[in-house]
Amino acid sequence: MLRSRRRSEVSGGRRLATCVLCEAACGIVVDVDGDRVASIRGDADDPMSRGYVCPKVIGMRDLHEDPDRLRRPLVRSGGAHREATWEEALRVAGDGLRRVRKEHGADAVAVYQGNPAAHNLGLLTVGQIVLRSLGTKNLYSASSSDQVPQMLAAELMFGNPVLMPVPDLERTGHLLVFGANPLVSNGSLMTAPNMRARLAAIRARGGRVVVVDPRRTETAEAADEHVFIAPASDPWLLLGMLRVVFEEGLARPERWVDRCNGWAELEALALSTELAAASAHTRVPAETIARLARDFARAESAAVYGRVGICHQPHGSLAAWLLYALATVTGNLDRAGGSMFTSPAVEVTKLVRMLGFVGHGRWKSRVRGLPEVAGELPIATLADEIETSGAGQVRALLTCAGNPALSAPNGKRLDAALSRLSFMVSVDGYLNETTRHANVILPPVSPLERSHYDVALNAFAVRNFAKYVPRPLPKPPDGRDDWEILLELGARVWLDGSTLGRAARAVSTRFGARLGPEAILEGLLRGGPRKLSLGALKKHPSGLDLGPLEPIFPAALETRDKRVALAPPELLTEAKALLRTPVAAAERGFVLIGRRHLRSNNSWLHNSHALIKGPERCTLMMHPDDAGALGLGAGASVEIESRVGRVEAPLELTDSVMRGVVSLPHGFGHGKAGARLGVAARHAGVSANDLTDDHLLDAATGNAAFSAVRVEVRALERDRPGGGRP
């Protein structure tokens, strides 16, 4: 049964909206005073967030009002950017991209999409159609800095890269978390507002929450148990747990063996794993590995959840597969209280198939031969494609809502490569560390000036729901949505500036504008399993509660035989090779891992004074015993060096990181010449991605292995007596 929460008063100075600053997608009420946002607060009638908002919500107002946010296009002229009319900027942008494409071929134009694209209805519908129409194989996004290993595992096992299970938080009795910090992220590939309350509810009903992580995160602090694990060793722990499950008769073949292929192969792999080896690789005692397995398998219901920590390693796809396999063999896949699948009103599985996102290895990158996954190449190789001459060399770049100079591995190298491009266009609201290289910047309206429906994020919600909100604030007279910009830009790339070309362009853009994201959404809703419509959703502005997660297999499986592929051959082969890996001898230095903060999201919100103010956040966390061995004290300025770079940061001592591990936050490194981010520049920090290695990747996908980077830490030479290196 559909249940809704109606609001009787959505007029005057009150507007409903959705916060798009993270995947929680909380419902908000925007109080407007004239053309000014007076306040933003939680919408108590939203069926998912129920009034909850995190501190980031102030960023919705700050982004809207930020004086550094661009309202007019910029065109590079004489080495600097100047304001331009939309007509001039679009003409320059279209001519430049069309010229490169005509002279060097479609693959000479690359496209990069940042994380905000996943929170944008227009970019996920019209935008994807336009970008795919460019015909280039050089498509990149933040996905290969984030979740591609989980997407590959989902496609291999279930037949579609977005068929990624989420924990049924409302009913589970045991939650096991690997490499995730949902109290800070508010859930990632898991739309779950107010995670603190959700975790507390599990414990209140007698359940248990266990976190496995190299750092005792905020989520670990709120859990029943935290288990330290050596970075990038998760596959070993999962294989060890699977051995115990099979060896001690804890598997539940009656639930899945007849609905999957590869049970025997997975069992043989698990039983060939030595617990002593798993313990040595992970630094987790063998008895702890066995207990984790028993507790999970014996729980009345259990869900396992992993995120960037399992993806950011050389065997990330292996870890993601084994995570899903653990849920399957213990009978907790597609079952109430276990790891389940959302049934959204828009069938995202069909949408991604239509857009060409289903598939992997259909082509490889020109220089290093890295594989395509879901239609995109790894961002780790974009610098190669720009720097290396020859047929297919990337000579132009179109970015949408992204900042890869800060977010990509070996960001300093990519930053330098961007300066070598023949032409660059950015659809972005800021002159930031990446867009400062652009010849043209085309700024869209703010998130509060566009309509919204969570096409992507609803596919990973812990409860089925649907919500559409029209523009909370009117679009400025000269403002344009992201999709309108891309539609016009695409027409100019395809059609020249002749009289005939201009006429054809006008027709195509008018037709595209009539189609628009709302028209596409209407079709997707009506064709979806719930048979909803925009009209129906508009009657319930706070959203429709579509009920708890429900089993969806085997009907929703997209494998050819409608069975779960429990032992994908390519991952099985990789796992067997992993088991032959000896325990590495002790190495100098430390392993670097990242971290995030509740009051930011990647590099998005560092230009908000309200969110960035306070104590220094860009610090290097280190265990006090490690610091003592190096003769370092709290607050000391230290030099951190990896194979690819060196940065300086203040030292923060804490026993929340295990010995041999250090942590820098992600998304800092502002203040570069040419960027226009006043507040962020005053809190510049350093970029962890000036240390991460663009040649340290997940074997199966090319996803960046951010959590496996070896670094050395030392006192700054100027602070060391004598000034010499040790």
Residue 618: CATH number of its domain: 2.40.40.20
Q: What confidence score (pLDDT) does residue 417 get?
A: 98
Tokens of 277: 């080896």
Whether residue 172 is found in the same domain as residue 97: no
Q: Are 397 and 379 in contact (CB under 8 A)?
A: no
Please provide the average confidence, as pLDDT, over all residues in the chain.
Answer: 93
**Percent of the chain residues past pLDDT 70, beyond the cut:** 95
- With vertex at residue 330, the alpha carbon angle to CA 327 and CA 331, rounded to the nearest 5 degrees, is 85
Residue 586, classified by CB atoms within 10 Å of its CB into exposed (0-12), middle (13-18) or buried (19+), is exposed
Q: What confidence score (pLDDT) does residue 291 get?
A: 98
Whether residue 78 is found in the same domain as residue 193: no
Question: How many Å apart are CA 692 and CA 706, to the nearest integer?
Answer: 6
3-state secondary structure of 138: coil
Whether residue 530 is found in the same domain as residue 573: no
The answer to whether residue 689 is domain-embedded is: yes
The answer to whether residue 62 is domain-embedded is: no
Tokens of 609: 């004074």
Question: How many Å apart are CA 93 and CA 586, to the nearest integer?
Answer: 53
Taking residue 582's Cβ as centre, other Cβ atoms within 10 Å add up to 8
Reply yes or no: is the peptide bond before residue 554 cis, omega within 30 of 0: yes
Amino acid identity of residue 67, one-letter, is: P
Taking residue 429's Cβ as centre, other Cβ atoms within 10 Å add up to 23
Q: What confidence score (pLDDT) does residue 122 get?
A: 96
Question: How many Å apart are CA 580 and CA 301, to the nearest integer?
Answer: 34
Question: How many Å apart are CA 464 and CA 18, to the nearest integer?
Answer: 16
Q: Does the structure show a pLDDT above 80 at 9?
A: no
3-state secondary structure of 653: strand
Whether residue 572 is found in the same domain as residue 493: no
The residue-averaged pLDDT of 670-686 equals 95
The answer to whether residue 378 is domain-embedded is: yes
Whether residue 378 is found in the same domain as residue 503: yes
182: left (phi over 0), alpha (psi -120 to 50) or beta: alpha
The answer to whether residue 38 is domain-embedded is: no
Q: Does the structure show a pLDDT above 90 at 13?
A: no
Q: For the ranges 17-31, 465-479, 511-525, 695-709, which has the lowest average pLDDT?
A: 511-525
Whether residue 679 is found in the same domain as residue 573: no
The answer to whether residue 255 is domain-embedded is: yes
Whether residue 205 is found in the same domain as residue 290: yes
Q: What confidence score (pLDDT) does residue 257 get?
A: 86
Tokens of 146: 């984030």
Taking residue 13's Cβ as centre, other Cβ atoms within 10 Å add up to 10
Q: What confidence score (pLDDT) does residue 78 get?
A: 87
Domain boundary, last residue among 514, 541, 568: 541
Residue 560: partners with Cβ closer than 8 Å, 6 or more residues away: 159
Q: What confidence score (pLDDT) does residue 387 get?
A: 98
Q: What confidence score (pLDDT) does residue 539 get?
A: 95
Q: Say which residue, 544 or 719, is predicted with more confidence.
A: 544
Q: Does the structure show a pLDDT above 90 at 651?
A: yes
Question: How many Å apart are CA 62 and CA 596, to the nearest integer?
Answer: 20
Q: Does the structure show a pLDDT above 80 at 468?
A: yes
Taking residue 616's Cβ as centre, other Cβ atoms within 10 Å add up to 11
Exposure b/e, 441-457, CB count within 10 A at least 16 = b: bbbbbbbbbbbbbbbbb
Task: Note the pLDDT tens digit of each residue in 294-323.
Answer: 999 999 999 999 999 999 999 999 999 999
Residue 430: CATH number of its domain: 3.40.50.740
Whether residue 377 is found in the same domain as residue 489: yes
Number of domains composing the chain:
3
The residue-averaged pLDDT of 549-566 equals 94
Tokens of 671: 């203040």
Q: What confidence score (pLDDT) does residue 718 get?
A: 58
Q: What dihedral angle (degrees, nearest 10) is formed by the CA atoms of 673, 677, 678, 679?
A: -130
The answer to whether residue 154 is domain-embedded is: no
Task: Note the pLDDT tens digit of each residue in 407-460.
Answer: 999 999 999 999 999 999 999 999 999 999 999 999 999 999 999 999 999 999
Question: How many Å apart are CA 533 and CA 540, to the nearest integer?
Answer: 11
Q: What confidence score (pLDDT) does residue 501 get?
A: 61
* pLDDT band at residue 496 using 50, 70 and 90 as cut-offs: confident
- Sequential DSSP letters for 232-289: T-HHHHHHHHHHHHHHTT---HHHHGGGEE-HHHHHHHHHT--HHHHHHHHT--HHHH
Tokens of 585: 């001898």
Q: Does the structure show a pLDDT above 80 at 48?
A: yes
Q: Does the structure show a pLDDT above 90 at 725?
A: no
Whether residue 571 is found in the same domain as residue 595: no
Whether residue 600 is found in the same domain as residue 715: yes
DSSP, res 55? G
The answer to whether residue 348 is domain-embedded is: no
Question: How many Å apart are CA 57 and CA 41, to the nearest integer?
Answer: 8
Whether residue 462 is found in the same domain as residue 399: yes
Tokens of 484: 């309108």
**Percent of the chain residues past pLDDT 90, beyond the cut:** 89
The answer to whether residue 79 is domain-embedded is: yes
Q: Are 210 and 44 in contact (CB under 8 A)?
A: no
3-state secondary structure of 303: strand
DSSP lists the bridge partners of residue 225 as: 210
Residue 203: CATH number of its domain: 3.40.228.10
3-state secondary structure of 586: coil
Confidence (pTM): 0.95
Q: Does the structure show a pLDDT above 50 at 637?
A: yes
- The domain in which residue 383 lies consists of 74-144+362-541
The upper half-sphere exposure of residue 391, i.e. CA atoms within 13 Å in the direction of its Cβ, equals 0
The upper half-sphere exposure of residue 330, i.e. CA atoms within 13 Å in the direction of its Cβ, equals 31
Whether residue 170 is found in the same domain as residue 114: no
Length of the chain: 726
3-state secondary structure labels for all residues of 474-538: CCCCCCCCHHHHHHHHHHHHHCCCCHHHHHHHHHHHHHHHHHHHHHHHHHHHHCCCCCCCHHHHH
Taking residue 641's Cβ as centre, other Cβ atoms within 10 Å add up to 16
Task: Note the pLDDT tens digit of each residue in 135-191.
Answer: 999 999 999 999 999 999 999 999 999 999 999 999 999 999 999 999 999 889 999
Task: Note the pLDDT tens digit of each residue in 319-339.
Answer: 999 999 999 999 999 999 999
* pLDDT band at residue 724 using 50, 70 and 90 as cut-offs: very low
